[in-house]
Amino acid sequence: MSELTESQLVALEQFRKKVDDVLTEEQRLSEAFLLRWLIAREFDVAKAEAMIRSNVVWRKENDVEEVLRWEAPEVFRLYYTIGITGFDNENSPVVIVPFGRMDLYGIIAAGGKENFIKFTLQNLENCLFRMKGKKNPKNGKEVTRLVVIFDCENFSLRTLSYSGVVDTILDLIRQYEANYPETLKAAYVVNAPRVFMILYGMIKPLLSAHTLGKVQIFGNEPQKWKKAVLTGIPSNQLPKHWGGTKEGNDEYCSNTVCMGGTVPTKYYANGQVSTDGSDDITLTVGAGSKFEMDLDIAVPNSSLKWNFKTDGYDIGFSVKFENKEVVPYRRVDSHKTREEGSITCDRTGIYQLSFDNTYSRLRSKTLHYFVTILSSDGIVIEEEDVDTSL
């Protein structure tokens, strides 16, 4: 942004003092970091303070500080379409997302909604990490924003036919808007078919005016969108397919940019997710009641994994250890998309999975679930060794 006005400078110092207790030393000294929250809330100090405090809680609840160390399931690493190809004229990372080539249903069905969002956040956090220490060569200021090219070539109506996919995308957008203000410099949506505008119509109400002002949408008009993209990005930072001159193993630089493809059915049945439910245990959670499963973890650093779906309606879910939530309670739309998740049990003892239907006084829920425990060396504890109780 341009130079700050006197009133904005006053707001900046007020904001810095107001949120001093939740800032790291690095954040406290970074004017660019503080301005992200102020700009997002039109320099309203009270609203900016509420936003950043909410973000601190969200990051803690979702263990975002550790997300860069997380090893994502293979299906994400092989089929989630994304890649950083370079930097623009002002040192902002350039991210290419061949969105139309991503098998969204396959990835979410195999890896789960939570992991899909987590992997997206991992990529976003990686971009922010790569910006650290970089300066805009034009003004010497910190680089805090990225450029994204969303290529919608091959995007089809089939993607929108799965409500679980749409719900996941909308949830992701909500989390981004609430927790990563002013991290987007420009978004070029290219090769967008008419059907894409249906999805964009759902997304648009969730985007702030600041974000909307940075989005440019182009149809299948390569001459127009390539010209727009190249106004701020050196050609040697873009693969040839997107108008650049960057050399790679092919025109997409697919050794850098994952080009996705259809997720093979093996990922649905190899322990990531069983779509036919062959490994499921099925039971009914009565109206106004809950099903609690006690798991005795005898080996430290074991992995506890769960996988479940419900018929027709949502259900509450949480995980507790020593009566404290380690996976916060939330209502899960597991009737739309199978839910999968895991935690590392760094301490031994009883971990309790809770499927909560107490909020539904009149309707029982049919639950299909599968739980595994893996020791730190990857040995699976068989189902009959898992202690469960109602």
Count of alpha carbons within 13 angstroms of residue 338, beta-carbon side: 24
DSSP lists the bridge partners of residue 146 as 184
Tens-digit pLDDT profile for residues 17-59:
999 999 999 999 999 999 999 999 999 999 999 999 999 999 9
The three-point CA angle 41-42-47 to 5° equals 35
CA distances from 50 to 176, 328, 378 (A): 16, 21, 42
How many Å apart are CA 196 and CA 349, to the nearest integer?
49
Encode burial over 74-83: b for 16+ CB neighbours within 10 A, e otherwise. ebbeebbbbb
CATH architecture of 6-61: Orthogonal Bundle (1.10)
Structure tokens at 157: 């109506």
In this prediction, residue 273 carries a pLDDT of 42
H-helix segments, 180-263: 196-203, 209-212, 222-230
CA quadruple 248, 250, 254, 260: dihedral, nearest 10:
170
Q: At what angle do helices 31-40 and 6-18 cross, to 10 degrees?
A: 100
Q: Do domains 6-61 and 274-385 have the same CATH topology?
A: no
In this prediction, residue 270 carries a pLDDT of 40
Q: Is 371 helix (H, G, I), strand (E, B) or coil?
A: strand
Question: Do the beta carbons of residue 293 and residue 299 sit within 8 Å?
Answer: no
In this prediction, residue 268 carries a pLDDT of 63
For strands 184-190 and 93-97, give the pairing: unpaired
CATH architecture of 274-385: Sandwich (2.60)
The three-point CA angle 163-110-169 to 5° equals 35
How many Å apart are CA 85 and CA 248, to the nearest integer?
10
Residues of the chain short of pLDDT 70, as ranges, are: 1-2, 161-163, 265, 268-280, 375-390
Domain 70-267: CATH superfamily is: CRAL-TRIO lipid binding domain (3.40.525.10)
Domain boundaries along the sequence of the chain: 6-61, 70-267, 274-385
In this prediction, residue 364 carries a pLDDT of 92
Q: Is 222 exposed, middle or buried (0-12, 13-18, 19+ CB in 10 A)?
A: middle
How many Å apart are CA 284 and CA 290, to the nearest integer?
10
